Amino acid sequence: MNSTSKIQHSKSDFNTISVIGLGYIGLPTAAVFASRKKTVIGVDVNQDAIDTINRGEIHIVEPDLDMVVRATVTEGYLKATLEPEPADAFVIAVPTPFKDDHVPDLAYIQSACKAIAPVLEKGNLVVLESTSPVGATEQLSAWLAEERPDLSFPQQDGVNSDIRVAHCPERVLPGHVLSELVQNDRVIGGMSTKCSEMAVALYKTFVKGECIVTNARTAEMCKLTENSFRDVNIAFANELSMICDSLQINAWELIRLANRHPRVNILQPGPGVGGHCIAVDPWFIVSKTPEIARMIRTAREVNDHKPQWVIDKITARAERFKDPIIGCLGLTFKANIDDLRESPALEIVKILQEQNIGTIMACDVNVVDAQSPVPLSSLEDVLQKADIIVLLVDHDEFKTIDPELLKDKIIIDTRGCWR
């Protein structure tokens, strides 16, 4: 242990930054660091993603990201590799899914620890960005310490540790990642004050928002709280929409009216809640405190029930046809992105296909055939052939469909955009 070591850090110390996990968060983060003229080594287990990035291209859809990646790769600031290399700071942005029983699965974080441990050097900073259950940053630090007994970690050596460890949860909205990365405030929870200080210096290389310091556990819980808050509020909107349907009230009109009250701000109902964050993170709270987190669990259950409610609606409307053609518009988990993770729209389409209630056509303007788990049709085809049109995702291209083309169809608009 190096109890006497004094590590002074300033912005300029971060000449080389490694980002582990080049997905929806890691790649934009790597690209933004690189755009600030930092040497960035992106690490991923997916060879295709690495080859794509090293060609200056991207493997995900996110506005403007292609330009930043192309520029930073061409200028030599960003490169992608399978094997971690030494760096001043390591930012871990790997997935944190849950297992079947909603228990968080930290296997990707553990693999990332194993991967970077051999190249860690005294004075390095390791930041966990992945949304994580409370205690994950401490666990990460324990895993690193196991791999590198020659180095000291904050749980052993506090402010004098050789390696600094912090949690800094990402909070960007898919579709607006590049601007939110720079503009949003960041919550930074170091395992010691020195860890926090160093992490603030790292993020200040590109964050224009405030970097607010707390401890690692509070930072972990803060991220989970934000997404649970949104989930609970969407559950309220979804529950309202089902109540309104049974009372023959237009839920969207109702919400518009109620939102005219100065202290009411109801979110929008939809076919359910998807994505890798809001549909997942509240379970991280529930799994730690199952007896206490009753509302958070119920909100999850309300939102998870919504796809089945939509399916029941479609089935009821399809009954009057002998062999209905049901056209489903949208597969992604929300508008104007290509992300299919935990998508309620995709779940609905898959279940409809299994149910044999007619011919199911699916269309998504942001999803390419190779990426789609279900066969895709063109929008023109769906609009021409379908008896029932189900709007599942409010992509711009769907919102602006000429109402004339819909007038002879049965419409099930789960997003309330064809009022």
Q: Which residues bind ligand SAJ (CB under 6 A)?
A: 131, 170-174, 226-227, 230, 234, 267-268, 270, 273-275, 277-278, 333-334
What is the strand order of the sheet 78-81 is part of?
78-81, 39-43, 16-20, 89-92, 125-128, 164-167, 186-190, 211-215
In angstroms, give the least distance from the CB of 173 to ligand SAJ. Answer: 5
Q: Which of 194, 223, 306, 334 is catalytic?
A: 223
**With respect to ligand SAJ, which residue has the nearer C-beta, 147 or 397?**
397
B/e letters for 282-312, b = 16+ CB within 10 Å, e = fewer, are: bbbbbbbeeeebeebbebbebbbebbebbbe
Q: Which of 277, 306, 328, 334 is catalytic?
A: 277
CB-CB contact of 372 with 339 (8 Å): no
**With respect to ligand SAJ, which residue has the nearer C-beta, 259 or 378?**
259
**With respect to ligand SAJ, which residue has the nearer C-beta, 406 or 417?**
417
Paired tokens of 152: 């000291």
In angstroms, give the least distance from the CB of 306 to ligand SAJ. Answer: 8
| Catalytic annotation present for 409 | no
B/e letters for 171-195, b = 16+ CB within 10 Å, e = fewer, are: bbebeebbebbeebebbbbbbbebb
Q: 167 by DSSP, 3-state: which? A: strand
**With respect to ligand SAJ, which residue has the nearer C-beta, 340 or 357?**
340
CA dihedral 103, 109, 114, 116 (to 10 degrees): -170
CA dihedral 293, 296, 298, 304 (to 10 degrees): -140
The residue type at 93: A
| Catalytic annotation present for 277 | yes
CB-CB contact of 224 with 133 (8 Å): yes
In angstroms, give the least distance from the CB of 320 to ligand SAJ. Answer: 29
Q: How far is residue 177 from each of residues 28, 260, 290, measured CA to CA in Å?
A: 7, 30, 32
**With respect to ligand SAJ, which residue has the nearer C-beta, 172 or 240?**
172
In angstroms, give the least distance from the CB of 95 to ligand SAJ. Answer: 11
**With respect to ligand SAJ, which residue has the nearer C-beta, 113 or 273?**
273
In angstroms, give the least distance from the CB of 174 to ligand SAJ. Answer: 5
The candidate with the shortest Cα–Cα distance to 236, out of 263, 278, 265, is 265
In angstroms, give the least distance from the CB of 302 to ligand SAJ. Answer: 11
Maximal C-alpha separation, the chain: 81
**With respect to ligand SAJ, which residue has the nearer C-beta, 110 or 268?**
268
CB-CB contact of 348 with 328 (8 Å): yes
In angstroms, give the least distance from the CB of 273 to ligand SAJ. Answer: 4
- Backbone torsions φ then ψ of 87, nearest 5 degrees: -155, 170
Say how far residue 55 (Cα) sits from the centre of its chain.
25
d(CA 218, CA 406): 50
Catalytic residues: 223, 277
